[in-house]
Amino acid sequence: MAYLKFDDSKLGKFVHPDELPEIQAMVTAADKELRDGTGAGSDFRDWLNLPENYDKDEFKRIQKAADKIKSDSKVLVVIGIGGSYLGAKMAVDFLNGTFYNSEPDDKRRGVKVVFAGNSLSAPYIHDLLNYIGDDDFSINIISKSGTTTEPAIAFRIFKEKLIKKYGEEEANKRIYATTDAHRGALKQEADANGYETFVIPDGVGGRYSVLTPVGLLPIAATGADISQLMKGALDSSKEYTNPDVNKNDAYRYAALRNILYRKGYTTELLENYEPNMRMFSEWWKQLMGESEGKDQKGIYPSSANFTTDLHSLGQYIQEGLRDLIETVVKLDKPDYDIDIPKEESNLDGLKYLQNDTVNEVNTKAYEGVVLAHTDGGVPVMTVHIPDQSEYSLGYLIYFFEVAVAISGYLNGINPFNQPGVEAYKNNMYALLGKPGYEELTKKLDEELKDENNN
């Protein structure tokens, strides 16, 4: 029996019984493309066997570096964007309490972890500098090249603060660079200054990188057990190998979402019922969006956090345009539960719940929402996770990684590249006057003048 439970029982009115058997041949072909490396983007499949083939010596260095950070720092500033940010942030939130960074030092199992370089907001950087204040801190800069604008600017700013506080020699001991093994501006700077370095593997794209040093060092710095994280991913990688959609829930999920997509369901909402799983949805959106959104094809990935968003999005989901798929990640057993207090007056009308717990009500809300939305014409699938442990997170990460790879091949695209991401960067570089973009600068200047004249 699979560790995660995938429930597609509510799809009866949306997917005909013959449709899964009919798509099986395509799933088998997609599996062969993925496993044999015959599909597009095969050079970026190293994540597939990563839970078993990761560098064990480097893994020990990560654990040792995390211990050092916990011993000499109160704060770890993690600098990165995209896959160099979302995976780590998702895992830190998933594995810790909602107010983890606000807990007293003697109550937290690790350091405070904060993130920079994921935007170009000056107020955010200002506020983060103030938040750190005079606390001891270290930096984990994550960048393959070292020249991506957002993290490069943030690194200059926080490195300057580090040097002012400790001096250059001591500051260099507090900088951990996760970057390319051999080349790039950050690798060059790290070698010159003696930063401890960890490797972003060449065959693992950013959105698949959370189980590499990109995610592992920040996660370990919070005191989380990254060995169990990798164990969960390893067991998941063994679970989801059979191409038969009746025996492989990750492939079944990929097949069903493609069947629905071909019927006009073009937006997928990933939903959860726990506030500290919001960032899991953000990680999932990059994984799905960058993997599938190309060649004018792909399901648009969106998200909602229930029950909160039922009071803002619920009306649209229930009765709006019928192009939505809902996929729920449901936590079956939270770390804590709370009894609903008894009151004699019953002014709030909650007497009928006085023998229930908050989680029991939350679960009934989930069940009621599924029934209502299914009746309203929205296909709903659920991935049940037993708890919010490191093991469960590793299992869940791999489930979605292998699912989107199969889903991409089913849709006839390369699930491992992201050519469209460079378009905005090139325009930004040109408008900022970066050397080498002179021709594009002239073109953009002319376009902007034309717009202003109109």
What sign has the CA pseudo-torsion 351, 357, 358, 363?
negative
**Identity at 139, one-letter amino acid code:** I
Burial class (CB in 10 A: 0-12, 13-18, 19+), 153: middle
Instruction: Answer for the pair 139, 174: CB distance below 8 angstroms, yes or no.
Output: yes
Q: Quote the tokens at residue 221.
A: 């710095």
Quickly tell me which residue has 């006009």 as its tokens: 264
Residue count (the chain): 454
425 is catalytic: yes
Considering the candidates 425, 442, 443, 449, report the single residue annotated as catalytic.
425
**Identity at 436, one-letter amino acid code:** G
**How does 210-249 read in b/e, with b if 16+ C-beta sit within 10 Å?**
bbbbbbbbbbbbbbbbbebbbbbbbbbbebbeebebeebb
Considering the candidates 150, 196, 271, 290, report the single residue annotated as catalytic.
290
Q: How many C-beta atoms surround the C-beta of residue 350 within 10 A?
A: 14
294 is catalytic: no
Nearest one of 50, 6, 48, 83 to 285, comparing CA atoms:
83
Q: What end-to-end distance do the CA atoms of the chain give, in Å?
A: 64
Nearest one of 77, 210, 213 to 140, comparing CA atoms:
77
**Residues involved in catalysis:** 290, 425
